[in-house]
């Protein structure tokens, strides 16, 4: 990859990490505020849970689109990982093409749905849902661009990055 | 099922894309988009299901908070104190360190909700302690660490049980309570096996900790040992919701490590946040994918159809549970467990309920069953992790893990066919099921 481009991508990844880690910190503090207000000040607040649930949605979509590498997600590497160099490249190209096509072709309907949601707002913070949900459009575009990019690199002859199976995520 | 229906194509696409290495969450979203396209439905539905599903699942906020709590607890000085405490309890027996490994797994399990986190944290430490000076064969130590880590997500708090609570609409509190006895039972059968093996293989005994030392050792570990008490206390007294209880646990863990063990710096806190966020995002993406795909499963009426077919066979609950046991063991050999919880369990649950099986019992039993997949080849994430940590060949590790799997299987049979092992504690605290 072009060195200045790859350092720009690495920089973006690090900032995305800062943002997502920061969001988790805010969610944690919001919960503490929520409990403290209810018991210490006898004053239940609702905006904290709304904020937390918004953060949860944003953490996942932003983190997955801009931060995590493919092999850090929950995936199954046994079949693809057992192939030879050429086989893995072919398979990776197939997968990337499928994702570009699928996410790409649903994009117009996705934008339409998100735009339609302008009729509703959240209950406490009064955020219009089309604005709130536009993060999904950013996510879908980012995923499409990422796989398009990796498809282009694979076509140019780059190898598939080797993954460390012990870094594979799981909820278990 | 019609092999040329949109659903069949979608299912094949998801299986193929996942097998070829695409993250499972994206595979489920992609396959569902394909389904919507082929069925002539609005493709914006994928976004709708994902956004509304994630936005509406407040319960899931417990997942990042539990991960964070365990991460705050996972500091060197806290682990040392807990280990000294466990050593004082069971180190004196033959195979003492092996017994300590199980007991510390149970103790850690009551603070963290993930088996992989347990293996990477305290398990790594146990591995180096057990193999120091050639005390235990490395493959045996690694097998034991893997097997005892399985207890992690069965003992509350448990991330898989939170996810099951979401898909099954069951109370997290009762599920957590239901996990306690099965977790202890798994620990117990492992300790029996160790006692038996220790004699045969002549494992060493640890230096006996004098009784007068006990109060000091316990006192030092006490603040950390209180965390599960506080967590469960918050849950069952109704002071907090389950999600808030997770936040309280995280706050308590942070306070304990900051004030008592003085092991917190800003850098550490950021590191804990980033590590927890990384796991949260990967789990969240899988859940997001499952929310979209579960719409497809429901639209196709799969759970009801299956329930009707099963009814046709006039299966007894015992036969059904046996089938579930076998199915989950086989799936666990090949699939990542969270996917099974999110996709397979909701399909099976209606049949279980129709047969009169309690959803809390079914959940705890199924999660225990699915956990076995972490240590069954060819795809066992704990095995892979221990191969790396312990630097032992997979084949040796699998051979040493087999006896543990054997006794754990006996425990699983008890948990499956004696529902009161799971339901005793929840019923004691008011569960009506």
Phi, psi of B94 (to 5 degrees): -65, 135
Mean pLDDT of B369-397: 91
Burial class of residue B125 in the structure, from the number of CB atoms within 10 Å of its CB (0-12 exposed, 13-18 middle, 19+ buried): middle
Token duo for residue B329: 């063991």
In the three-class reduction of DSSP (H, G, I as helix; E, B as strand; rest coil), residue B205 is classed as strand
* Digit-coded pLDDT (tens) for B92-151: 999 999 999 999 999 999 988 888 888 888 888 899 999 988 899 999 999 999 999 999
**Rounded Cα gap, residues B297 and B327, in angstroms:** 19
**Rounded Cα gap, residues B183 and B176, in angstroms:** 11
pLDDT band at A148 (very low <50, low <70, confident <90, very high): very high
Closest CA–CA distance from residue B211 to any residue of chain A (Å): 37
Q: Is B346 on the interface with A (CB under 8 A)?
A: no
Interhelix angle A47-62/A3-39, rounded to 10 degrees, is: 160
**Chain A contacts in chain B segment 9-38 (CB below 8 A):** 13, 17-26, 29-30, 33-34, 36-37
Mean pLDDT (chain A, rounded): 90
Q: Is B58 on the interface with A (CB under 8 A)?
A: yes
Q: Is B354 on the interface with A (CB under 8 A)?
A: no
Closest CA–CA distance from residue B253 to any residue of chain A (Å): 13
Closest CA–CA distance from residue B315 to any residue of chain A (Å): 31
pLDDT band at A164 (very low <50, low <70, confident <90, very high): low
Q: What is the ipTM of this complex?
A: 0.94
pLDDT at B114: 87
Burial class of residue B217 in the structure, from the number of CB atoms within 10 Å of its CB (0-12 exposed, 13-18 middle, 19+ buried): middle
Tell me the three-class secondary structure of chain A, residue by residue: CCHHHHHHHHHHHHHHHHHHHHHHHHHHHHHHHHHHHHHCCCCCCCHHHHHHHHHHHHHHHHHHHHHCCHHHCCCCCHHHHCCCHHHHHHHHHHHHHHHHHHHHHHHHHHHHHHHHHHHCECCCCCCEHHHHHHHHHHHHHHHHHHHHHHHHHHHCCCCCCCCCHHHCCCCC
Rg, C-alpha atoms of chain A: 20
Closest CA–CA distance from residue A156 to any residue of chain B (Å): 20
pLDDT surpasses 80 at B205: yes
**Chain B contacts in chain A segment 116-155 (CB below 8 A):** 133, 136, 140, 143
Mean pLDDT of B362-368: 97
* Residue keyed to tokens 């077919």: B309
In the three-class reduction of DSSP (H, G, I as helix; E, B as strand; rest coil), residue B357 is classed as coil
CB-based contact B253:B137 (threshold 8 Å)? no
pLDDT band at B383 (very low <50, low <70, confident <90, very high): very high
pLDDT surpasses 80 at B248: yes
**Rounded Cα gap, residues B163 and B113, in angstroms:** 11
- Could you tell me which residue, B213 or B261, shows the higher pLDDT? B213
Give which of B6, B10, B44, B387 to mutate to test A binding, by max A Cβ within 10 Å. B44
Contacts of A70 in chain B (CB under 8 A): 21-23
pLDDT at B232: 86
pLDDT surpasses 90 at A101: yes
Q: Is A167 on the interface with B (CB under 8 A)?
A: no
- The CA–CA distances, whole Å, from B368 to B67, B149, B200, B408 equal 19, 12, 29, 10
CB-based contact B127:B390 (threshold 8 Å)? yes
- Could you tell me which residue, B36 or B115, shows the higher pLDDT? B36
- Cβ pair B23:A74 closer than 8 A: yes
Closest chain A residue to B162 measured between Cα atoms?
A171
In the three-class reduction of DSSP (H, G, I as helix; E, B as strand; rest coil), residue B10 is classed as helix
What's the predicted TM-score (pTM) here? Answer: 0.92
Closest CA–CA distance from residue A3 to any residue of chain B (Å): 26
Q: Is B47 on the interface with A (CB under 8 A)?
A: yes
From the list B13, B29, B44, the residue facing A113 with the nearest CB is B44
Closest CA–CA distance from residue A73 to any residue of chain B (Å): 5
* Geometric angle at alpha carbon B302, from B299 and B303, rounded to 5°: 115
Burial class of residue B326 in the structure, from the number of CB atoms within 10 Å of its CB (0-12 exposed, 13-18 middle, 19+ buried): exposed
pLDDT band at A163 (very low <50, low <70, confident <90, very high): low
**Chain B contacts in chain A segment 76-95 (CB below 8 A):** 76-81, 91-92, 94-95
């Amino acid at each position: 990859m072009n060195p200045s481009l790859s350092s720009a991508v690495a920089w973006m990844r690090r900032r995305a990490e800062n943002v997502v880690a920061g969001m988790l910190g805010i969610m944690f503090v919001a919960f503490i505020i929520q409990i403290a207000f209810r018991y210490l000040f006898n004053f239940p607040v609702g905006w904290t849970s709304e904020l937390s649930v918004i953060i949860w949605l944003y953490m996942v979509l932003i983190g997955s689109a801009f931060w995590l590498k493919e092999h850090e997600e929950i995936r199954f590497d046994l079949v693809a990982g057992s192939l030879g160099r050429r086989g893995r490249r072919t398979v990776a190209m197939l997968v990337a093409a499928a994702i570009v096509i699928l996410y790409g072709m649903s994009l117009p309907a996705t934008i339409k749905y998100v735009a339609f949601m302008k009729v509703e707002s959240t209950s406490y913070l009064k955020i219009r849902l089309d604005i709130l949900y536009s993060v999904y459009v950013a996510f879908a575009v980012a995923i499409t661009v990422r796989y398009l990019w990796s498809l282009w690199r694979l076509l140019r002859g780059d190898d598939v990055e080797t993954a460390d199976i012990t870094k594979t995520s799981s909820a278990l | 099922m019609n092999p040329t229906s949109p659903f069949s194509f979608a299912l094949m696409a998801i299986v193929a894309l996942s097998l070829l290495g695409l993250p499972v969450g994206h595979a489920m979203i992609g396959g569902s988009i394909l389904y919507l396209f082929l069925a002539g439905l609005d493709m914006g539905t994928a976004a709708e299901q994902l956004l509304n599903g994630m936005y509406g699942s407040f319960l899931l906020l417990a997942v990042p908070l539990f991960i964070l709590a365990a991460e705050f607890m996972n500091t060197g000085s806290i682990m040392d104190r807990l280990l000294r405490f466990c050593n004082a309890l069971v180190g004196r027996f033959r195979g003492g360190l092996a017994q300590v490994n199980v007991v510390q797994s149970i103790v850690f399990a009551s603070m963290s909700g993930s088996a992989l986190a347990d293996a990477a944290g305290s398990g790594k430490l146990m591995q180096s302690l057990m193999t120091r000076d050639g005390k235990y064969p490395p493959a045996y130590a690694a097998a034991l660490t893997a097997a005892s880590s399985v207890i992690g997500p069965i003992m509350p708090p448990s991330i898989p049980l939170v996810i099951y609570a979401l898909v099954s609409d069951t109370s997290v509190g009762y599920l957590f309570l239901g996990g306690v006895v099965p977790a202890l039972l798994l620990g117990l059968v492992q300790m029996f096996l160790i006692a038996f093996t220790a004699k045969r293989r002549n494992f060493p005994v640890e230096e006996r900790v004098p009784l007068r030392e006990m109060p000091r050792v316990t006192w030092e570990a006490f603040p950390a040992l209180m965390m599960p008490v506080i967590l469960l206390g918050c849950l069952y007294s109704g002071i907090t919701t389950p999600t808030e209880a997770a936040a309280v646990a995280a706050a308590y863990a942070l306070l304990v490590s900051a004030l008592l063990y003085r092991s917190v710096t800003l850098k550490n806190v950021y590191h804990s946040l980033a590590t927890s966020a990384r796991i949260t995002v990967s789990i969240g993406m899988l859940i997001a994918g499952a929310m979209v795909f579960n719409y497809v499963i429901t639209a196709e009426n799969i759970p009801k159809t299956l329930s009707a077919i099963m009814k046709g066979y006039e299966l007894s609950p015992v036969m059904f549970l046996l089938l579930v046991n076998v199915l989950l063991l086989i799936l666990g050999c090949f699939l990542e467990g969270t996917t099974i919880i999110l996709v397979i369990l909701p399909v099976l649950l209606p049949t279980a309920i129709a047969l009169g099986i309690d959803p809390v019992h079914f959940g705890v039993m199924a999660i225990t069953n699915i956990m076995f997949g972490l240590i069954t080849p060819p795809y066992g994430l704990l095995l892979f992790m221990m191969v790396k940590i312990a630097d032992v060949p997979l084949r040796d590790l699998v051979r040493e893990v087999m006896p543990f799997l054997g006794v754990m299987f006996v425990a699983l049979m008890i948990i499956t066919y004696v529902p009161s092992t799971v339901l005793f504690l929840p019923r004691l605290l008011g569960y009506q099921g």
